[in-house]
Structure 1
């Protein structure tokens, strides 16, 4: 073979090797990596990474579908994915695994020799990113290529449901997801409180069973979406695994009690009661399996129980509607929605239905619709009770009118007596009120003095900390920028040594006045300590902060301090940090960043302005 041809093959070999690699997205685009993945099944689950890495390409099978779903087989699955960065920049990406209930997920090749190990059967603090889902960071430079191996092992649904997106897209999607999840759980909690309140008033057990049904369904969803492992029991792995089928069976049990009572099955034919008792016994059996038995049978049993109960309730509701029970039509609609949503969720877990946003949240949407319909049906019971009590209320209103007339006469007499008493009280309390007002004014003046620096009249450090915390909270809520200027008088010790400490105090007051004149009324200026000042600027971005800082520095340089016929030249070094706060408690951290920038300004020769962002770029 000619040498030229060998050289050409060597040059083209990387391109051929990575021809099927996944190009990482940019902007708001999201990519499903499923079609780019290859899978190798390990039934024993004993293969090591070194063995899997050495497998020939012929051992790997292409997935060629949107989601990597393999059902409830129980095998260990190794997935291989090649990615590359075709862009001229590296914004950073996230590989988001949309199945929080995976027992174990290992990722190799992300960060040198480090192995990402996570899953709901591993402590939550093992995760690289603190998130309810399994999130893997991808950091590739421009043109860089990377091969990733994923080891997926779970006793539940082996469904990867992965998505690749940029950091910015992930943050945007996370905010939207948390908003929707907050609305969902907020609606459930509102239903729970509403119906529990009605039970406390009416003592109708149907509202109690419905409240328990809503509470257990809320817990079930909290577990399924990964919030429970993150916030409730991050290290209770055994309980977390059994809690999923247990909470499902518990919600089903309360749903049976609720249906039994609201459809008045105790007054219906005996087959209805027989079916209800059998389903109740199955619910207790599944809960027992979840607590003491193997996980997979308990999980499958909980799914079968949900479908069986929903179908039975739907059929019984239709039969009760046919028997003339008018309220049953609403319950039939609710159970039909729940059946459809539960089937979609279960079939997605088995891989029979493709993963999508609709199938992922089908049970949430269906459950919310079902509970809304049930709440409407229960509310109808209150309306009927109100109509039954309408006549009695009319009689009570008439009696109340008579009582009001009598009370009016008594009130008139009491008014005359109270007027004479009030006149005496007002005379005696006038002196006391005047004294209290003087004391209040004195307390206000004292409180204001405690917030101020005695030398410069500026706010002190304690006031700065309080106002900074409020400003960060406001900025985080309104998404408005905030800027912090850390200012230090250059060579101030020399001023004290040369002109005396009284002259130094005059220079501090002079600098405070010059800086305060340049700030807006909404800005805050505080003496941080010694010759250091801090300015807190609301609604100010980096550009505005830099411009103001330069004005302050130039103004102080042009206007020396005049003390006892002496002109004392002063200069100012300024470090600043600006941006939109993402954490309401970021104040002290931002002060530290501005202080770092100030240190760089002083180290660079003083009498200059340095922002923290510019500092970070210089360090790179």
Structure 2
């Protein structure tokens, strides 16, 4: 008998579970209907409400968790919940669907036979309530019990993220959420304008890339939270669906550019640049997929891209931190906050963790933490720049003080001579003249040293800035051609990496000596910086400039640097720009076009000479 009762009880448990209703009591807190819900999967998506209501109770399965989440599945899901008003007076409640990216949602039992139909693949005007999320209002009479049935189908995350609250509680909740969203987007806007202003003033691209990243991330959040469909494109349903993976890839693109710039990958091992360019290309590919490929493919592509960027960011930041790069520590903390928050959002979307207000707004929280950390990092960057400027000023003042001391000594010596005996006037005068000559020579040597590069002995970039304007003005007056060669030692970083910086310095001195032997008296040879050199040729047309450039290239290629028993082969990439200047020709034009030709020479394989005009004509 006892065994029979147990078997009967087990058979009745599913029925008892199905009969459980959710009591709606007046409260300011929201209820999560998930544990009281049951669902029926509809793989073909062809069932209607009449056939669903005729299903046996055994066909329904309990949700058994705080939210109804089925991951990324295109099939339709029917969910039902029975609600009950135990009070003695009617109540107004709201069923809030917190996932604004559901494609289609149908609700039955809210208002008689009236069917609620909404979703981000239906015009916004169909919604009963003008709201970024799906708001389903209903009323229950005193003691009434009602069955609510919801059908959802989407190409994205099939996560209902439902909550129940009274109409009054919903109004308070909405006011609070709008306040938080206003503060969030206001903080992003302020940060974007702040960094954009710094970029306009300093022309530092770090601030430009970060401003664009903040702007694109704001755009992504505006779409994800439903504001875009409500306010920007309520009827552009196809664009709204593709805009989500598109905006995600766009924010990722600018995040990669900012990372590449702030961590100075350009001057590190080439693998950093190669991976960064690959991720940039992948971002552009995902953006193209969002505009042309199926939505699911573009969405999966955006998730894979985020995962690859997260892995690369963790590894690269850790390596730069280990190398002693000052910004890497704060950068790692900032990105980690956003990556962890994004991971919570993705796990919630696939249904691995329960959906909640925390997971819904996890990326916003992570972004705010990242904003604070990156603001500190950029502030530290500005402080370091100010410290460097102040140090340069202190050094300049020290030199000026030294010159004044020398002048004071000279004046003191002159006074001693004037106050001395008349018999020693000539001797003292001779000594003074000798001291003045030595001082003049020292000043001239000091001035000359300030114009030369300490390592190679060539003129430095300061001389180029001073002399180029004069030479260009002279060429304009005489209407004679002027030419510029922009030269770069190929793969020079590999020389430093393989042999050390002392050998690299010897190679720079060797290259400078070989170049100097080819220069005329009125040619200007300058070490532009690092392994880059610039030659300004007066009264020289394009054929003459190309001839000299080829001579320099061949000379370096055929004369290795011999140092400490090593023979190190070197090569030059040279960009050439020559013209007869007119009134509009500027110093910046000469530098820019010669540099573009140099870049083309390096891109074409290095160890060659490229003429800017030929390069432009070829492109046109």
- The interval holding the TM-score normalised by the smaller chain is 0.5 to 0.7
Q: Retained in 2: the 8 A contact 1:99–1:161?
A: yes
Q: Retained in 1: the 8 A contact 2:69–2:158?
A: yes
* Map of 2:389 onto structure 1: 389
* Map of 2:428 onto structure 1: none
Question: In structure 1, what is the Cα distance between the partners aligned to 2:53 and 2:204?
Answer: 63
* Map of 2:259 onto structure 1: 259
Q: 1:27 to 1:57 in 2, by over 3 A?
A: same
* Map of 1:300 onto structure 2: 300
Q: Retained in 2: the 8 A contact 1:93–1:138?
A: yes
* Map of 2:329 onto structure 1: 329
Q: How far does residue 147 in structure 1 lie from its aligned partner after superposition?
A: 1.1
Q: Retained in 1: the 8 A contact 2:213–2:251?
A: yes
Question: In structure 1, what is the Cα distance between the partners aligned to 2:387 and 2:291?
Answer: 47
Question: In structure 2, what is the Cα distance between the partners aligned to 1:213 and 1:371?
Answer: 11
SS in 2 for 1:143: coil
Q: How far does residue 19 in structure 1 lie from its aligned partner after superposition?
A: 4.0
Question: In structure 2, what is the Cα distance between the partners aligned to 1:267 and 1:95?
Answer: 56
Moved more, 71-80 or 371-380: 371-380
Give the 5 Å matches for 1:561-580: none
* Map of 1:95 onto structure 2: 95
Question: In structure 1, what is the Cα distance between the partners aligned to 2:32 and 2:25?
Answer: 10
* Map of 1:120 onto structure 2: 120
Runs of 4+ in 1 over 3 A off after TM superposition: 15-19, 391-397
Question: In structure 2, what is the Cα distance between the partners aligned to 1:25 and 1:102?
Answer: 29
* Map of 2:314 onto structure 1: 314
Q: How far does residue 371 in structure 1 lie from its aligned partner after superposition?
A: 2.6
Q: Retained in 2: the 8 A contact 1:307–1:342?
A: no
* Map of 2:208 onto structure 1: 208
Q: How far does residue 392 in structure 1 lie from its aligned partner after superposition?
A: 7.0
TM-score by length of 2: 0.60
Q: 1:197 to 1:59 in 2, by over 3 A?
A: same
Question: In structure 1, what is the Cα distance between the partners aligned to 2:22 and 2:239?
Answer: 38
| Cα shift readout 1:86-107 (whole Å, capped 9, x = no counterpart) | 1112230000011010000000
Question: In structure 1, what is the Cα distance between the partners aligned to 2:17 and 2:339?
Answer: 47
* Map of 1:37 onto structure 2: 37
Q: Retained in 2: the 8 A contact 1:109–1:146?
A: yes
Q: How far does residue 29 in structure 1 lie from its aligned partner after superposition?
A: 2.7
Q: How far does residue 313 in structure 1 lie from its aligned partner after superposition?
A: 1.2
Question: In structure 2, what is the Cα distance between the partners aligned to 1:17 and 1:373?
Answer: 50
Q: Retained in 1: the 8 A contact 2:91–2:142?
A: no
Question: In structure 2, what is the Cα distance between the partners aligned to 1:134 and 1:207?
Answer: 38
Q: Retained in 1: the 8 A contact 2:233–2:240?
A: yes
| Cα shift readout 1:498-557 (whole Å, capped 9, x = no counterpart) | xxxxxxxxxxxxxxxxxxxxxxxxxxxxxxxxxxxxxxxxxxxxxxxxxxxxxxxxxxxx
Q: 1:146 to 1:387 in 2, by over 3 A?
A: same
| Cα shift readout 1:1-34 (whole Å, capped 9, x = no counterpart) | xxxxxxxxxxxxxx98984111113121321011
* Map of 2:131 onto structure 1: 131
* Map of 1:198 onto structure 2: 198
Is 1:355 aligned to 2:355, yes or no? yes
Question: In structure 1, what is the Cα distance between the partners aligned to 2:295 and 2:222?
Answer: 19
Question: In structure 2, what is the Cα distance between the partners aligned to 1:358 and 1:54?
Answer: 38
* Map of 2:111 onto structure 1: 111
SS in 1 for 2:383: helix
Give the 5 Å matches for 1:57-68: 57-68=57-68
Moved more, 96-105 or 306-315: 306-315
Q: 1:18 to 1:270 in 2, by over 3 A?
A: closer
Q: Retained in 1: the 8 A contact 2:85–2:91?
A: no
Question: In structure 1, what is the Cα distance between the partners aligned to 2:85 and 2:396?
Answer: 78
* Map of 2:574 onto structure 1: none
Q: How far does residue 390 in structure 1 lie from its aligned partner after superposition?
A: 2.9
SS in 1 for 2:140: coil
Question: In structure 2, what is the Cα distance between the partners aligned to 1:33 and 1:306?
Answer: 32
* Map of 2:286 onto structure 1: 286
* Map of 1:273 onto structure 2: 273
Is 1:245 aligned to 2:248, yes or no? no
Give the 5 Å matches for 1:419-430: none
Gaps of 5+ in 2: 1-14, 398-620
Q: How far does residue 388 in structure 1 lie from its aligned partner after superposition?
A: 2.5
Is 1:159 aligned to 2:159, yes or no? yes
TM-score by length of 1: 0.60
Q: Retained in 2: the 8 A contact 1:80–1:147?
A: yes
* Map of 2:572 onto structure 1: none
Q: How far does residue 330 in structure 1 lie from its aligned partner after superposition?
A: 0.6
Question: In structure 2, what is the Cα distance between the partners aligned to 1:109 and 1:92?
Answer: 14
Q: Retained in 2: the 8 A contact 1:199–1:205?
A: yes
Q: Retained in 2: the 8 A contact 1:310–1:338?
A: no
| Cα shift readout 1:88-139 (whole Å, capped 9, x = no counterpart) | 1223000001101000000012112211000011111100011111010120
Question: In structure 2, what is the Cα distance between the partners aligned to 1:105 and 1:93?
Answer: 18
Q: Retained in 2: the 8 A contact 1:25–1:164?
A: no
Question: In structure 1, what is the Cα distance between the partners aligned to 2:300 and 2:255?
Answer: 19
Q: 1:285 to 1:18 in 2, by over 3 A?
A: closer
Q: Retained in 1: the 8 A contact 2:18–2:57?
A: no
Q: Retained in 2: the 8 A contact 1:212–1:254?
A: yes
Q: Retained in 2: the 8 A contact 1:246–1:291?
A: yes
Question: In structure 2, what is the Cα distance between the partners aligned to 1:201 and 1:18?
Answer: 67
SS in 1 for 2:25: coil
Q: Retained in 2: the 8 A contact 1:311–1:339?
A: no
| Cα shift readout 1:422-464 (whole Å, capped 9, x = no counterpart) | xxxxxxxxxxxxxxxxxxxxxxxxxxxxxxxxxxxxxxxxxxx
* Map of 1:533 onto structure 2: none
SS in 2 for 1:149: strand
Question: In structure 1, what is the Cα distance between the partners aligned to 2:53 and 2:266?
Answer: 64
Q: Retained in 2: the 8 A contact 1:25–1:31?
A: no
State the number of aligned residues.
383
* Map of 1:406 onto structure 2: none
Question: In structure 1, what is the Cα distance between the partners aligned to 2:329 and 2:391?
Answer: 29
Question: In structure 1, what is the Cα distance between the partners aligned to 2:339 and 2:258?
Answer: 17
| Cα shift readout 1:221-271 (whole Å, capped 9, x = no counterpart) | 111111111111111111110000000000000000001011110100011
SS in 1 for 2:159: coil
SS in 1 for 2:352: coil
Q: 1:396 to 1:234 in 2, by over 3 A?
A: farther
Q: Retained in 2: the 8 A contact 1:338–1:370?
A: yes
Q: Retained in 2: the 8 A contact 1:37–1:62?
A: yes
Gaps of 5+ in 1: 1-14, 398-620
